[in-house]
Structure 1
Amino acid sequence: MHTALTELLGVEHPLVGFNRSPAVVAAVTNAGGYGVLAASMYTPAELDAQLHWIDQQVAGRPYGVDLLVPEKFAVSDPDDLVASLRAQIPAEHRAFVDALLDEYEVPVPATAAPEDETSDEIAAAINPAGAEALLDVAFSHPISMVANALGPPPADLVERAHAAGIVVASLVGARKHAERQLAAGVDILVAQGTEAGGHTGTVATTVLTPEVVAIAGDRPVLAAGGIATGDQMAAALALGAAGVWCGSVWLSSEEDITPRAVKEKFLAAGSSDTLRSRTITGKPARQLRSAWHDAWDRPGAPDPLPLPLQPMLVGGMWERVHAASAEGHPGATALDTYFIGQVVGGFSALRPAGDIAREMVSDCTRRLRALGELASS
C-alpha cells in the first residue's frame, strides 16, 4: 500500500504502532510499519538507553518518539520544580490514596523509598522544559518523527525538528484542535476518536477522521481509536486517512511491558469495560475500569488534580500496586489498571507484535480488494 504517509516516512505499510515498550516499537518497524516510542514514560537517561536498543534492533529502519507537552502547566517555583509541584499536592489527596492502599491491604515493598524520585522526575518532565531534556536525547538518535499528544507543539519544537529533517505529528480530538495544529506547522495530524486508549476526547473516530481530512490539505491524516484489525484499518483508509495510528492493540502483544496481571484483565474484558478518567494523569484518559475508579466515584472523594500533580500523587502508588498485583495480591489486582481503548473487547490471546502488524496489513489488503470488487460489480 502506498499513501502520503508511506511516502513521507519511507515505510512499506501505513501502520503506526505507538507503545512504551521498545520491543514493540522495533517489532512494528521491522514488520514494515512505523514504531513510535512513548518517550514521556522515561527519564532522559532511561530514554537514551531504550533508543540505543531500538537503534540496534531496527538497523536503520525508521521510527519515532512521542512526548506529552501540555499548553498549561502548574508550577510556581521554576528553580526547584519537583519541590514546587509536590508542595501543591493537598494533604487530603495524599490521605485518600494512603487510605485506599490500606483498605485493599496493598503491601509496602521492602525497598520502598519515602518518595518515588523516578515518578517525580517523569511527571516533572511533562512540561516544555522537561520535554526539552527528552528531546535532546531523542534528537541524538536517528528518529524521523516526533509526536505531541497534548495540544499544539511549542514553536521551537517544530522549528528544531524541521531543521533536523524530522517530521512533526500531533494528536487531535476535534476539528478545532486540528485547525490549531495546522497553524502550528505540524506535518501529520492524528485524528484520535473517543474509542482510543489514553488521552482522548469525546468525538468518535468515524466522525472525526473525515472532518480532519477535509481541512488537512496535502498533510497526511492518520485515524486512531477503535483500530486493532485489518478490517478496521481498511475502514480508516476508506474515510480518507493516509494510515492508522494504533496503540491499544499492542497491549495484547507478548513484547508489551504491561504487567501480566493487567493483561489478564484485558483478556477478560469487554468493549464496555473502559472509561475516560482523570484519576491517573489529571486529564481525561480512557483506561480499564477497576476498583480504583470506583473509589474515586464515592461520595466525599476528592477531585483529581491537574497534570502533572495527579501523576506525581499516584505514581509511586501505582508502582506499589503493580508489584503486588504481579505477585497475585487480590487487593492490588482489584485496583490495577492501565490505559486501553474499547478494542480491548476483541482481545483473545497474547501474540508477537510483529505477527499482529503483519496480520493487520494482510487483512486490510484483503478487505480493500473485496471492496474494490464490490465497487466494480
Structure 2
Amino acid sequence: MRTALTELFGIDVPLVGFSRSPAVVAEVSKAGGLGVLAATAYGPEELDVQLTWIEEQVRGRPYGVDVLVPASTVGDRRELVARLRAQIPAEHIEFVRSLLEKYGVESGDLARGHGAADDQVVGVAPEGVEALVDVAFSHDIALIANALGPAPPFLVERGKREGVVVAALVGNARHAARQLDAGVDLLVAQGTEAGGHTGTVATMVLTPEIVELAGATPVLAAGGIASGRQMAAALALGAAGVWCGSVWLNSVEDITPDYIKRKFQAAESTDTVRSRTRTGKPARQLRSAWHDEWERPDAPEPLGMPLQMMLAKDAWQRIDAAAEQGVAGAHALGSFFVGQVVGSFGELRPAAQIVADMAAECAECITGLQRVIHGGAA
C-alpha cells in the first residue's frame, strides 16, 4: 500500500503503532509500520536508554516518540515536585487513602509519593517536557508527536530544523486549525473511541472533517481502529493511514500487568469511561471500582493536571502491586487507559502479527470493495 504516510516515512504499511512498551514500538517498525514510544512514561535518563535499545532493534527503520504538552500546568520544573505535592489538598489525599484501605490496599504515605511517579509528572510540566524533547532529538527519530494541546513553537521549530516530522493529535476542527497554524506536518484525528486523552467527536465524523480542513497536510485516523476492516474504513474516509494505540495492549510484548490484560480480555466495548480521575483531564480507560468510588456524591472533584496525575500515580503503583499479589480488592480497582476496541480483544498476539493481520485484512477489504464497484467482476 502506498499513501502519503508511507511515502513520508518510507514504510510499507500505513500504520503508526503508539505504545509505552519499547518492544511494541520496535516490532511495529520492524514489521513495516512506524512505532512511536510514549515518552512521558519515562524520565529523561530512562528515555535515553529505551530509545537506544529501540534503535538497536529496528536497525535504521524509522520510529518516533510522543510527548504530552498540555496548554497549562501547575508550577514549573525548578520547584515542581515539592510545590506540586504541597498543592494537593489534604481532602484528596485522605479520600484516596481511605479508598485504598477500603479495598485492602496498603496506602503508605501518599503525601510523600514515589520517585517514579514524580519523574512522570515532570514529563508533563513545561521544563520537564523540554528535557524529554532534548533526549528525543539526540536520537535518530523520524517523528515527534504532541498528544495534548497546541504544538509549542520550540517543538515545531526544532523539528523543521532537524528534519523530524512534527505530528499533533486533535479531537475537533478547532484544535486542528490551531495545529495547522502552528506549522505541524501531520495531523492525527483522534475520535472519542480512543484510549487515553480524547475529545467527544467520533472517528467516523471527525476524520473526514479534519481531512477537508487539512488540505495538503496528511491526516491519520485514530480511535476505534484495531482491525484491517477499520483501517480500510479510515483510508476510505480520506486518511493517509491509521494511528493505533489500544490494540497493542493485547500484544505479547506489551508491558501492562497480566491481571489488567485479563480484565481487558473479559471486557466489552461498553466497559470504558472517559474520566478525569487518573490524569486530571478526560481520558478513556477501563471502568473499575476506582471510577465508581470517585463518582460517589461525597467524593471530591478530581484535581487538574498534573496534580491529579501525581496523586493517582501514587495510588496506582500500590494497586498494581497488590493486585499482582492476589489482593481481590486491588483487582476490582485495577484499570488502565484503553479504547472501546477492548471489546474485540482475544488471545494475545505478537505485535508484528497484529501489523501483518491488519495489513492483509485491509487489502482484502479494499479488493472486496473493488468487486462491488465492478459488479462482482474483479
Q: TM-score, normalised by structure 2?
A: 0.97
What does the per-residue CA deviation read over 1:218-251, in whole Å, with 9 as the maximum and x for residues that have no partner? Answer: 1110000000000000000000000000000000
Mapped to 1, the partners of 2:107 and 2:325 lie a distance apart of 13
5 Å-filtered alignment, 1:45-56, equals 45-56=45-56
5 Å-filtered alignment, 1:183-222, equals 183-222=181-220
How many residues are aligned here? 375
Structure 1 residue 6 corresponds to structure 2 residue 21: no
Mapped to 2, the partners of 1:171 and 1:212 lie a distance apart of 11
Q: 2:30 maps to which residue?
A: 30
5 Å-filtered alignment, 1:289-304, equals 289-304=287-302
Structure 1 residue 94 corresponds to structure 2 residue 83: no
Q: 1:103 to 1:191 in 2, by over 3 A?
A: same
Question: Deviation at 1:128?
Answer: 2.1
Give SS of 2:252's match: coil
What does the per-residue CA deviation read over 1:154-187, in whole Å, with 9 as the maximum and x for residues that have no partner? Answer: 1011001110000000000001110111000000
Q: 1:324 maps to which residue?
A: 322
Q: 1:67 maps to which residue?
A: 67
The RMSD of aligned alpha carbons is 1.4
Letter in 2 for 1:103: K
Letter in 2 for 1:26: A
Mapped to 2, the partners of 1:187 and 1:49 lie a distance apart of 27
Question: Hey, which bits of structure 1, 4+ residues long, moved more than 3 A?
Answer: 111-114
What does the per-residue CA deviation read over 1:20-65, in whole Å, with 9 as the maximum and x for residues that have no partner? Answer: 0000000100000000000001000110111111011000000000
Structure 1 residue 57 corresponds to structure 2 residue 61: no
Mapped to 2, the partners of 1:127 and 1:374 lie a distance apart of 52
Give SS of 2:189's match: strand
Give SS of 2:335's match: coil
Structure 1 residue 107 corresponds to structure 2 residue 106: yes
Mapped to 2, the partners of 1:339 and 1:279 lie a distance apart of 12
**Contact kept in structure 1, 2:319 and 2:333, CA below 8 Å:** yes
1:282 counterpart (280, 283, 286): 280
Give SS of 2:200's match: coil
Mapped to 1, the partners of 2:74 and 2:47 lie a distance apart of 24
Q: Percent identity?
A: 62
Gaps of 5+ in 2: none
Letter in 2 for 1:211: E
Q: 2:238 maps to which residue?
A: 240
Mapped to 2, the partners of 1:357 and 1:42 lie a distance apart of 25
Mapped to 2, the partners of 1:337 and 1:46 lie a distance apart of 24
Mapped to 1, the partners of 2:110 and 2:300 lie a distance apart of 26
Question: Deviation at 1:114?
Answer: 4.5
1:142 counterpart (140, 143, 153): 140
Give SS of 1:64's match: strand
Q: 1:311 maps to which residue?
A: 309
Q: TM-score, normalised by structure 1?
A: 0.97
Mapped to 2, the partners of 1:246 and 1:289 lie a distance apart of 21
Give SS of 1:306's match: coil
What does the per-residue CA deviation read over 1:117-151, in whole Å, with 9 as the maximum and x for residues that have no partner? Answer: 22112102202211110011111111010000111
Give SS of 2:243's match: strand
Question: Deviation at 1:314?
Answer: 1.6
**Contact kept in structure 1, 2:257 and 2:320, CA below 8 Å:** yes
**Contact kept in structure 1, 2:273 and 2:287, CA below 8 Å:** yes
Question: Deviation at 1:108?
Answer: 6.0
**Contact kept in structure 1, 2:110 and 2:311, CA below 8 Å:** no
Moved more, 180-189 or 118-127: 118-127
Letter in 1 for 2:47: L
What does the per-residue CA deviation read over 1:265-297, in whole Å, with 9 as the maximum and x for residues that have no partner? Answer: 000000000010000000000000000000000
Letter in 2 for 1:172: V
Letter in 2 for 1:65: V
Structure 1 residue 132 corresponds to structure 2 residue 130: yes
Mapped to 2, the partners of 1:85 and 1:357 lie a distance apart of 41
Give SS of 2:242's match: strand
Letter in 1 for 2:167: A
Question: Deviation at 1:115?
Answer: 2.5
Letter in 1 for 2:14: P
Mapped to 2, the partners of 1:367 and 1:105 lie a distance apart of 49
What does the per-residue CA deviation read over 1:178-234, in whole Å, with 9 as the maximum and x for residues that have no partner? Answer: 011100000000000000000000000000000000011111100000000000000
Q: 1:80 maps to which residue?
A: 79
1:359 counterpart (343, 348, 357): 357
Structure 1 residue 17 corresponds to structure 2 residue 17: yes
Moved more, 204-213 or 347-356: 347-356
Question: Deviation at 1:315?
Answer: 1.0
Letter in 1 for 2:127: A
Gaps of 5+ in 1: none
Question: Deviation at 1:78?
Answer: 5.4
